[in-house]
Every structure is written in structure tokens, then in C-alpha cells.
């Protein structure tokens, strides 16, 4: 029996060695698979955050479309008296024409963005079967993101140009009021002309409705475009900061404050006047139109408070911290509107005592 057992043990011993080597090979493979699953999980997390940014931007675009719709509602009643207003409509068409040019340029940017999206899809597809090549594809993706910054800059330029086109409308409204007064004595013959004009207005509303129908899919494309741009906002942190004691603000956010294009030299950071608080639009407008130079409305800072502005007009040499203007809370120690950031608060206290 021992004679039979001995050769059996001799056969079993190398098998144990082979099993041990096999386990040694399998163990590192499990480690690699675990690491790969970790990378995939992190990638899914980034995609989820990206979808969240896209959703938030769609909300902002929807609100913007609402403002545009309200603006169209205000413009429609202005189309009133035909004879004196034809000249003003002609001038308005002249202003609309360059705006169409800006829209065309924006479509060009959207087309370029579609090209970038196509290239991006081309880079994402190989990731399914080629995990090792994923690291090599990340670098070209950064190259595709860089042009997006240029498209964002161009978009801001188009928005600024649009504001410039809206400004002349105020002049046309003023002239329109001047034409309304003599029309009071001509009501009877004017009534005969109103009926066909209403038909033209109805047709015009139909064209506006069709235009809104074309704008809706365009907004969808803009939403997808800016969805990729939104993560870049995290790199624009200096916008939130305040000036470092300079004679004017180093940055400003037009969403938090208004800017004007009349009443003084274009010395502001956005090509208009200095920013003033958005808490009172009429005060902002009055500050830019009535001041001899573009200066902010620093509410509650110093003596000589004005009931219409809630403070006195001061230059940036008197209130150099942007936070003094844009903050939403009051601070007695700062002598006025105190910023939310501690470094701005200390600077305001040093300037105003």
C-alpha cells in the first residue's frame, strides 16, 4: 500500500504547485478589475454632475425666453399710428438688421460647437473597448474644450451688441410721444385707416408666432452648447471678487448689478458706467443719467443721504471696495452695505472708518 501511495503523492504534489501559481496570477487580476470599476464609477459621477449643470442652465434659458416674450408684448402696443411712425419703423428695421447678423454669427458658433460635439463622441466611443487608450484620449478632449471659451466670449459680445440695439428704441418712443399729441385732432380720419392696419398687425403677430416656433428648437441647441460651458464657471472665480483698492472695480457680474450706456464716459468694466446696486433699477438709471461722471450709488455710506438713491453719489476713490456696492446685508461697523467676504469688509472699514 505504501508503494502505491508514494507515487500518488508524487502526482498530487506538482498539481498543488500549479494551483498555487494559478491563484498567484488571478489575485493581481482581481486588483486590476477592482481599480477599473473604481475609475468607471468616478466617470459616471462626473457625467451625473454634468447633467445637473445642463438642467440648471435650461432653467435659466427658459426664464430668458419669458423675458423676451414679455418684451414682445410691450412692443406690440407701440405699433399704433401708421403715418408718423413709418419713419421710426424703418429706422428700427435698420437696427434689427445688424441683430440678424449677430444671430447668424451665433448660428456659426453653434455649428462649430456641433463639430466639437461630434469629435467628442468620436473620442468617447473607443472608451468602451479600449480602457488603456482612455488616458490618451483625455488630452485631445482638453484641446476641444479650449475653443469653447472663445465661443463664450463671442456670445457675451453678441449680448452686449443686443443691448446697444435696444437703447435707440428709447429715442424712438420719445419721438413717438411727440407725434401722438397732434394726432388727437385727427381721430376721425384715422379711424378709417385703423381697420386695415389691424389686419396687418394680425398678420405681423402670426409672423411673430412663427418666429417663436423657430426660436424654441434654437434654444434647445443653445442649452446643449452652454451645458458644456457651465463647468467652466468654476474657473471664473475672480468675477466674484472685489477690487484690490484700485480706482475702479476689477470685475463685476451683470447678473447682480446693472450697467448703463449713457450719462458719462465708457469707463466701466463692461464698456458702460460703473456698476450700481440692482436693488432699485430706477435709482440705477437715475444715477447714470444725472451724474456728471459715471459713479456708483453707495447706499448708506457717509453723510448727505439722498431719498431717491438711498445714499449719496460717491466716486470710487471714496468707496473702492466692490463689496460695498453689491452686498445685500447692512453692517454698522462698515458704515454702510457690508460685503460678504471678510477681506472686503476690512477694506471697507479702513476706507470709511
d(CA 194, CA 35) in angstroms, rounded, equals 76
> Higher confidence at residue 146 or residue 104?
104
DSSP state of 310: T
Averaged confidence pLDDT in the chain: 63
Beta strands in the chain (DSSP E): 257-258, 276-277, 297-299, 311-313, 329-331, 336-338
Question: From the CA atom positions of the chain, what is the Rg in Å?
Answer: 32
Instruction: Return the top range by mean pLDDT from 102-116, 136-150, 274-288, 310-324.
Output: 102-116
For the segment 106-158, what is each residue's pLDDT rounded down to a tens digit? 887 778 777 676 766 566 455 544 544 444 454 555 456 566 666 767 777 77
Residue 220 near residue 62 (C-beta atoms within 8 A): no
- Domain extents in the chain: 33-235, 241-352
Give the C-alpha separation, 220 to 225, whole Å.
9
Tell me which residue of 303, 300, 285 sits closest to 348, measured CA to CA: 300
Position 262 scores a pLDDT of: 33
Most confident listed range (83-87, 197-201, 258-262, 301-305): 197-201
Give the residue with greater pLDDT, 225 vs 89.
225
Report d(CA 258, CA 269) in Å as an integer.
Answer: 12
Neighbours of 103 (CB within 10 A): 14
3 state SS of 335? coil
Residue of 297, 325, 76, 303 lying closest to 206 (CA atoms): 76
pLDDT score for 203: 84
Amino acid at each position: 500500500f505504501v508503494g502505491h501511495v508514494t507515487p500518488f503523492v508524487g502526482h498530487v504534489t506538482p498539481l498543488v504547485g500549479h494551483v498555487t501559481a494559478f491563484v498567484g496570477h488571478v489575485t493581481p487580476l482581481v486588483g486590476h478589475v477592482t481599480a477599473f470599476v473604481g475609475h468607471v464609477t468616478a466617470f459616471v459621477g462626473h457625467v451625473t454632475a454634468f447633467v445637473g449643470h445642463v438642467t440648471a442652465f435650461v432653467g435659466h434659458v427658459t426664464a430668458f425666453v419669458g423675458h423676451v416674450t414679455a418684451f414682445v408684448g410691450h412692443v406690440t402696443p407701440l405699433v399704433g399710428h401708421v403715418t408718423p411712425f413709418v419713419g421710426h419703423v424703418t429706422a428700427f428695421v435698420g437696427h434689427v438688421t445688424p441683430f440678424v447678423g449677430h444671430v447668424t454669427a451665433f448660428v456659426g458658433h453653434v455649428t462649430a460647437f456641433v463639430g466639437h460635439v461630434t469629435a467628442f463622441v468620436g473620442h468617447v466611443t473607443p472608451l468602451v473597448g479600449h480602457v488603456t487608450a482612455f488616458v490618451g484620449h483625455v488630452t485631445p478632449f482638453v484641446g476641444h474644450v479650449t475653443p469653447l471659451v472663445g465661443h463664450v466670449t463671442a456670445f457675451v459680445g453678441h449680448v452686449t451688441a443686443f443691448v446697444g440695439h435696444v437703447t435707440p428704441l428709447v429715442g424712438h418712443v420719445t419721438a413717438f410721444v411727440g407725434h401722438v399729441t397732434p394726432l388727437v385732432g385727427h381721430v376721425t380720419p384715422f379711424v378709417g385707416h385703423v381697420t386695415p392696419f389691424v389686419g396687418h398687425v394680425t398678420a405681423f403677430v402670426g409672423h411673430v408666432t412663427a418666429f417663436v416656433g423657430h426660436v424654441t428648437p434654437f434654444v434647445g441647441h443653445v442649452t446643449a452648447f452652454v451645458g458644456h460651458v457651465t463647468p467652466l464657471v468654476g474657473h471664473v472665480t475672480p468675477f466674484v471678487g472685489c477690487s484690490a483698492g484700485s480706482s475702479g472695480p476689477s470685475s463685476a457680474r451683470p447678473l447682480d448689478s446693472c450697467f448703463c450706456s449713457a450719462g458719462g464716459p465708457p469707463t466701466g468694466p463692461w464698456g458702460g458706467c460703473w456698476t450700481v446696486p440692482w436693488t432699485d433699477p430706477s435709482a440705477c438709471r437715475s444715477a447714470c443719467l444725472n451724474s456728471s461722471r459715471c459713479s456708483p450709488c453707495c447706499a448708506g455710506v457717509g453723510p448727505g443721504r439722498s431719498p431717491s438713491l438711498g445714499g449719496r453719489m460717491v466716486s470710487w476713490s471714496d468707496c473702492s471696495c466692490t463689496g460695498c456696492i453689491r452686498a445685500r446685508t447692512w453692517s454698522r461697523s462698515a458704515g454702510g452695505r457690508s460685503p460678504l467676504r471678510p477681506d472686503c469688509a476690512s477694506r471697507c472699514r479702513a476706507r470709511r472708518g
